[in-house]
A and B are shown apart, each in its own frame.
Chain A
Amino acid sequence: MNDPFIMARSVNVFYGDKQALFDVDLDIEEKRVTALIGPSGCGKSTFLRAINRMNDLIPICRFAGSLKISGHEIYDPDVDVVALRAQVGMVFQKPNPFPKSIFENVAYGLKIHKMTSSKTELADRVEWSLKSAGLWDEIADRLDEPGNSLSGGQQQRLCIARTIAVEPKVILMDEPCSALDPIATAVVEDLIDGLRKDFTIVIVTHSMQQAARISQRTAFFHLGNLVEVGDTKTVFTNPQEERTQNYITGRIG
């Protein structure tokens, strides 16, 4: 049997003396949407940020265990974090476009990674990214306007366009819809569903309905432990663990 695309084994993460994750073993399959759910402070965001090593930015944060993407151990000392993050993109909770034009927001990653060789290629690539993020039709004639002038939902889709422009293998999303209204949320959810055929997506969400709507697999975290992981349908209709049952029925959380 093939190894799963992302394979976490005995992952422990510490913030100073405080342990945030305990021996997490989790497999994430390629070109699927995996949802990480659980109450606040359960470690799901910590796990997500371990996948592209964003936790490295926190000086007191320490990682132990093994995390392999496509067979490569990403915590090996000789791994270049910059190259890793080019392959594992991230969309944040609050839309955070660069304080630059819409075009520059998307073109930035392509420019720093020197992924295009001409101006027209760059423009084509930006257009493709914005189309893939379902934003092109709305902003095609105002590419020079600042990214901050868009609405919240548009900004978040701009951030997704920016992420997919550099064609990462994995896209991590940290509660991407929590700052959006229901209509914008629906648009972004449709988008995530469409991106599944090209990208492996890991999404942290507080909304169980959202997890049920868009994910194929769901992992439930509680107090730093991975309680249960399985097909979304199974987890929500026939959970194996009592704690999962309690959470999805609203008794803990």
Chain B
Amino acid sequence: MTDFIDKAGFGLKARHRAEKRFQWTGRLAILISLAFLAWMVVTIMIGASGAVRLVQIAVPVDLSVENVDPDDIAGAGYGAIIKQGLRAQFPEVSKRAEKKRLYNLVSPEGSFELERQVLSDPTLLGGTPLVWVTASDDLSLYVRGKINTDLPEDQRQISDQEIAWVDQIQDQGRIRNVANWGFLTNGDSREPEIAGILAAFVGSALSLSVCFLLSFPVGIAAATYLEEFAPANRVSDVIEVNINNLAAVPSIVFGLLGLSIFLGYFGLPRSSPLVGGMVLSLMTLPTIIIASRASLKSVPPSIKEAALAIGATPVQAVFHHVFPVALPGMMTGAIVGMARALGDTAPLLMIGMVAFIVDVPRSILEPATALPVQIFLWADSPERAFSEKTSAAIIVLLVFLVAMNMVAILLRRKLEQRF
């Protein structure tokens, strides 16, 4: 009896081979992309690991009446008190340059921290307590083993003498690691150890809110009109072609436009989230319009016909029946547009959101910066400790992005459930 299912026939072997080949190519492609993604995430995580910890150093401070007047706590010279405390630990230091290096073990922020501690706990006054203050960035890097001590002395940030001091302090148990919440609650700073992301985070959040409030309603209104009501003529064609082209325009061009119109002509406040959001919405609008039109187009025309056939006006037919069905798709377009806006730096550079902003902006009119710009600024800084901050800021940006998309997807799912 011959084999009824003849495996050799119909060129089947070659066809099955081609099938397998294609599937494996696909799997390989996915594997490669996943590997690169994992590599990237791990690199960023490792880079950011330093930024989640803050090194503190304990300094014995003399808070006697000579140094701090109990009636005028805020008027005392706390910087000098810390320097005095450091000198007391190493009385042998006498040269001016050496003293300066000794003082540099403590962050310039240390004097403010001491002041705040004294203000919140006046019982410290009169004694000589050990007070924990933030250590300088170089000391932090050394303590965490981020500085290669095998290098010749003149090629590293921290000298042999400083290393000796730090080792001695460490032996006394006067150096500790704490969680660096300041990174999430501070604004930018020249000092990496106290630089935080909050100002940029709030700047981004404000800009994106402005961008969303402008581009989402305008975008879907434009898309709905163009798709459902606009007469099919030459003007509509020209508008359609232009919208498609605008979606491909490099974002820095929108930045230039914002610079010359919003700042130059309307005189809106420079570096403000208002202008940032407006510029980003210029960039986001074409994306939202194109996605919304595609979404409207995919709604079966029979639904609109049904509404018209029982005497709904065209506007009623569109807004009562077509629009709700198309809304989830429009949201998808908005997500894509907003994600792009969140990550874009170039247009913000043009309108001055690249400034060094220490204070957290409290309104859309105050100067602000944005997360991607902050990342760019830190990556550009010479201090090595800023590289940790850069990685940490990237993680904040990614978390922001994921959170934003999650909210949008949940909203979309809720809308979709309505039949």
Chain A residues packing against B (C-beta within 8 Å): 52, 54, 57, 59, 82-86, 89-90, 92, 94, 96-101, 108-109, 112-113, 146-148, 159, 162-163, 166
- Give me 10 other A-B pairs in contact (C-beta within 8 A), A82-B311, A98-B320 excluded: A57-B308, A85-B309, A89-B310, A90-B310, A96-B306, A98-B321, A108-B310, A108-B312, A159-B306, A162-B310
Proximity bits, B287-321, A CB within 8 Å = 1, else 0: 00000000000001011011111111100100011
Residue of A nearest to B320 (CB): A108
Beta-carbon contact of B310 and A166 below 8 Å:
yes
Beta-carbon contact of B324 and A83 below 8 Å:
no
Nearest chain B CB to A248 CB, angstrom units: 30
Knowing A59-B232, A82-B313, A146-B419, say if A99 contacts B308 (CB, 8 Å).
no
Cα of A112 to Cα of B308 in the assembled complex, Å: 11
- CB neighbors of A among B211-246 (8 A): 231-232
Knowing A101-B419, A108-B320, A146-B419, say if A57 contacts B305 (CB, 8 Å).
yes
Complex contacts, A147 vs chain B, CB 8 Å: 419
Beta-carbon contact of B311 and A83 below 8 Å:
yes
The one of B232, B300, B303, B310 that contacts A85, using a Cβ cutoff of 8 Å: B310
Cα of A84 to Cα of B308 in the assembled complex, Å: 11
Complex contacts, A54 vs chain B, CB 8 Å: 305, 308-309
Beta-carbon contact of A112 and B312 below 8 Å:
yes
Cα of A162 to Cα of B309 in the assembled complex, Å: 10
Complex contacts, B320 vs chain A, CB 8 Å: 98, 108, 112
Rank and list the top 3 A-B pairs by shortest CB-CB distance, nearest first: A86-B311, A90-B309, A146-B419
Beta-carbon contact of A112 and B316 below 8 Å:
yes
Beta-carbon contact of A99 and B325 below 8 Å:
yes
Beta-carbon contact of B306 and A98 below 8 Å:
yes
For chain B, which range describes its interface: under 10, 10 to 19, 20 to 34, or 35 or more residues?
20 to 34
Cα of A83 to Cα of B312 in the assembled complex, Å: 9
Cα of A71 to Cα of B231 in the assembled complex, Å: 32
Complex contacts, B321 vs chain A, CB 8 Å: 98-99
Beta-carbon contact of B311 and A85 below 8 Å:
yes
Knowing A98-B303, A98-B321, A146-B419, say if A52 contacts B316 (CB, 8 Å).
no
Cα of A59 to Cα of B232 in the assembled complex, Å: 9
Complex contacts, A163 vs chain B, CB 8 Å: 309-310
Complex contacts, A113 vs chain B, CB 8 Å: 311
Complex contacts, A101 vs chain B, CB 8 Å: 419
Cα of A238 to Cα of B305 in the assembled complex, Å: 38
- CB neighbors of A among B330-366 (8 A): none
Cα of A99 to Cα of B419 in the assembled complex, Å: 6
Cα of A122 to Cα of B271 in the assembled complex, Å: 56
The one of B231, B310, B313, B325 that contacts A109, using a Cβ cutoff of 8 Å: B310
Nearest chain B CB to A226 CB, angstrom units: 24
The one of A85, A94, A146 that contacts B308, using a Cβ cutoff of 8 Å: A85
Complex contacts, B316 vs chain A, CB 8 Å: 112
Cα of A145 to Cα of B306 in the assembled complex, Å: 19
Nearest chain A CB to B301 CB, angstrom units: 9
The one of A84, A99, A146 that contacts B303, using a Cβ cutoff of 8 Å: A99
Nearest chain A CB to B149 CB, angstrom units: 70
Nearest chain A CB to B101 CB, angstrom units: 73
Beta-carbon contact of A96 and B300 below 8 Å:
yes
Complex contacts, B324 vs chain A, CB 8 Å: 99
Nearest chain B CB to A144 CB, angstrom units: 10
Residue of A nearest to B300 (CB): A96
Determine which residue in B302, B303, B306, B313 has the highest number of CB atoms from chain A within 10 A of its CB, and name it: B306
Complex contacts, B231 vs chain A, CB 8 Å: 59
Cα of A113 to Cα of B310 in the assembled complex, Å: 9
Proximity bits, B111-147, A CB within 8 Å = 1, else 0: 0000000000000000000000000000000000000
Beta-carbon contact of A96 and B302 below 8 Å:
yes
Cα of A58 to Cα of B259 in the assembled complex, Å: 45
Complex contacts, B311 vs chain A, CB 8 Å: 82-86, 109, 112-113, 166
Cα of A101 to Cα of B310 in the assembled complex, Å: 17
Residue of A nearest to B321 (CB): A98
- CB neighbors of A among B167-221 (8 A): none
Complex contacts, B309 vs chain A, CB 8 Å: 52, 54, 85, 89-90, 92, 163
Cα of A82 to Cα of B311 in the assembled complex, Å: 5
8 contacts between A and B (CB under 8 A): A52-B309, A84-B311, A85-B308, A85-B309, A86-B311, A96-B306, A112-B316, A112-B320
Beta-carbon contact of B305 and A96 below 8 Å:
yes
Determine which residue in B308, B310, B324, B325 has the highest number of CB atoms from chain A within 10 A of its CB, and name it: B310
Nearest chain B CB to A107 CB, angstrom units: 11
Complex contacts, A84 vs chain B, CB 8 Å: 311
Beta-carbon contact of A148 and B419 below 8 Å:
yes
Complex contacts, A94 vs chain B, CB 8 Å: 302
Cα of A92 to Cα of B321 in the assembled complex, Å: 17
Nearest chain B CB to A111 CB, angstrom units: 9
Nearest chain B CB to A9 CB, angstrom units: 24
Complex contacts, A85 vs chain B, CB 8 Å: 308-311
Complex contacts, B300 vs chain A, CB 8 Å: 96
Cα of A112 to Cα of B312 in the assembled complex, Å: 7
Complex contacts, A162 vs chain B, CB 8 Å: 306, 310
